[in-house]
A = this chain, B = another copy of it.
């Protein structure tokens, strides 16, 4: 008799291509959650996702309210922020500040905290070499948590024996 055990995720590979405050959360929460459960996790940051691995980058991620009808209305307004207001100077920092406030209020970690704890739990961070060239970001501008700089071939090798690979 063959016993079919429930499958387990042994290795996860996440490709991070977004560099905004909101879209930095999903990969880092999945990475931290999976690493806490003993899974080997690889985070490959490419294109705008490289922002997360830049020195000072994780601290200064922003979110712009422009062209984002999916964002909730500000608490002080009875309606959604109109785009004609959202484009005014200061509105991106304000939206960022408001989102950070909500995150703090519910006790969620900040992005730099998530990177630090993920790294401590053994999550591997990889920077994308062609993106570093494109965005003129040499290795010394990356945070020390970065393990190495790899390209598409390196990423495909990581993904080859991963049980779960997500493009974020």
Contacts and interface: CB of A to CB of B under 8 A. Distances in A.
A133 to B, nearest CB: 4
Contacts of A8: 160
Interface string A130-168: 100111100000000000000111011001110111111
Contacts of A153: 33, 37
A17 B26 contact: yes
Contacts of A23: 17, 47
B47 A71 contact: no
Interface string A91-104: 11000100000110
A152 B29 contact: yes
A103 B164 contact: no
A71 B46 contact: no
B161 A26 contact: no
Contact of A167 (B69, B86, B161, B166): B166
A77 interface: no
A66 B161 CA distance: 39
B6 A161 contact: yes
Contacts of A152: 29-30, 32-34
A73 to B, nearest CB: 11
A89 interface: yes
